[in-house]
Every structure is written in structure tokens, then in C-alpha cells.
């Protein structure tokens, strides 16, 4: 009996952890720019974004959190004529522990396969420690950093989390301003509408833990 109860407890604990990770899964991007946050070890985030204009373009991302403050990202850009795959790596130097910013360094497109080319960067993220009582805002995050190579200079971003399962994101990615609205209809899943480099994209993301 006690063994069965213990298994039920573990199942609920695992489900709770999975839902908390997937609620608003932290990954190494705001939209396109690094955010300095990593996924927890043993968790994965899948994301797809699609535009229909100019012949169509689809972005795929797979992020995997590893031990030791490391996150890997595999990405694909796919059109009717070609596809480009790339691999990126981010290392978290300083985690967000409540009163300090998160700081990470990383390499985008390690094999130098994309049009932008390989990029090296330092990224910083900071969660505002106190928000006055507000029915529209739960949390606010600020992001920034600087890159070289494929990321040409400074980048900045912000996220606002609302009590209504809606996340608002905006960034300057060193080339253009981008923005997105994300809605979480159920745990694990986000539906997203983007404006990237002036083009409209739609997509979704799914986060899981192993």
C-alpha cells in the first residue's frame, strides 16, 4: 500500500515539474537573439515558425538542456528550394538566483553554414525583482548583450508575462526589430504569432522534460 502511495506521489511530482518547466520554458532565445537563460538539464523545447510570404519560409528549433550549464540548439531554415541546418552552443556563467542577472556566452552556427555565419556573443538577462500590483503584468524580463560575426554588435529585448497565459516579447536582434505574442492554451504548449524582420509568422512551441 505504502509503495503504491509512494509511486503516486512520484508521478504527481514529475507531472508538476514537467508543467512548471513547460509553463514558460526558458530557452536561449528571446525570439532570435540570445536571452542568457538555459533550459534545465534533461528538458527539451521544440519550436516552429512559418511565414507564407515570398515563397514561404519555415524555421525549426530544437533546444536541449544539459548538465553543467550547457544548452545545445539545432536549427533549420527551410524553403521550397533549400534547407540550412545549424548547431549552436550556450554556456551559462552566472545563473539567475533572484537578485543577480543571468550571464551566458555562446556560439551561434558553429559550423558556419547560415547566411549570417558563425557568431560569438555575451548575453545578460535580468528579471525585475518587484512589480507594483498590476492586473496586466505578472513578471517582466530585460535582455541585452553584444555579439561579433553573425550577430553584428549590440542586441536588446524584453518580455512581459501576464496573468492570462499570454507572453509579450520584443527584441532588436542587431539588424531589425522583432516581436511576438504567445498564448498558452494548455500546459506544455504555446501558440505564437510573430513579426520577424517585418514579416508575419505563425507557429508553436512545445516543452518536455525527461
**Phi and psi angles of residue 156, each rounded to the nearest 5 degrees, phi first:** -140, 160
* Average pLDDT estimate for 42-57: 96
The boundaries of the domain holding residue 166 are: 2-209
**pLDDT of 4 above 80:** no
Dihedral in degrees, nearest 10, Cα atoms 177, 139, 71, 102: 90
* Average pLDDT estimate for 41-61: 96
| 6/160 Cα distance (integer angstroms) | 38
Question: 3-state SS string over the chain?
Answer: CHHHHHHHHHHHHHHHHHHHHHHCCCCCCCCCCCCCCCCCCCEEEEEEEEECCCCCEEEEEEEEEECCCEEEEEEEEECCCCEEEEEEEEEEEECCCCCCCEEEEEEECCCCCCCCCCEEEEEEEEECCCCCCCCCCCEEEEEEEEEEECCCEEEEEEEEECCCCEEEEEEECCCCEEEEEEEEEECCEEEEEEEECCEEEEEEEEEEEC
- Into how many domains does the chain fold? 1
Task: Convert the pLDDT of each residue in 70-107 to its tens digit.
Answer: 999 999 999 999 999 999 999 999 998 878 899 999 99
| 74/21 Cα distance (integer angstroms) | 20
Task: Convert the pLDDT of each residue in 138-185 to its tens digit.
Answer: 899 999 999 999 999 999 999 999 989 999 999 999 999 999 999 999
| 10/6 Cα distance (integer angstroms) | 6
**Residue 47 near residue 29, CB atoms below 8 Å:** no
What CATH number should be reported for the domain holding residue 171?
2.40.160.40
pTM of the model: 0.84
Q: Who contacts 160 (Cβ-Cβ below 8 Å, separation ≥6)?
A: 137, 139, 140, 167, 168
Q: Which residues pair with 122 in a beta bridge?
A: 105, 146
Amino acid at each position: 500500500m505504502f509503495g503504491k502511495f509512494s509511486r503516486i506521489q512520484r508521478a504527481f511530482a514529475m507531472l508538476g515539474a514537467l508543467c512548471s518547466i513547460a509553463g514558460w520554458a526558458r530557452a536561449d532565445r528571446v525570439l532570435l537573439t540570445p536571452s542568457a537563460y538555459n533550459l534545465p538539464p534533461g528538458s527539451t523545447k521544440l519550436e516552429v515558425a512559418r511565414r507564407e510570404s515570398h515563397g514561404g519560409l519555415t524555421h525549426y528549433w530544437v533546444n536541449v538542456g544539459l548538465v553543467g550549464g550547457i544548452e545545445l540548439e539545432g536549427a533549420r531554415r527551410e524553403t521550397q528550394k533549400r534547407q540550412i541546418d545549424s548547431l549552436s552552443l550556450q554556456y551559462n556563467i552566472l545563473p539567475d538566483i533572484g537578485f543577480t542577472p543571468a550571464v551566458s556566452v555562446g556560439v551561434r552556427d558553429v559550423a558556419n553554414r547560415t547566411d549570417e555565419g558563425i557568431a560569438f556573443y555575451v548575453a545578460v538577462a535580468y528579471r525585475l525583482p518587484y512589480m507594483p500590483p498590476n492586473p496586466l503584468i505578472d513578471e517582466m524580463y530585460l535582455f541585452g548583450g553584444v555579439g561579433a560575426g553573425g550577430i553584428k554588435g549590440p542586441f536588446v529585448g524584453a518580455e512581459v508575462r501576464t496573468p492570462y497565459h499570454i507572453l509579450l516579447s520584443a527584441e532588436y536582434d542587431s539588424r531589425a526589430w522583432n516581436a511576438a505574442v504567445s498564448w498558452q492554451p494548455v500546459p506544455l504548449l504555446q501558440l505564437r504569432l510573430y513579426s520577424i524582420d517585418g514579416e508575419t509568422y505563425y507557429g508553436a512551441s512545445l516543452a518536455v522534460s525527461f
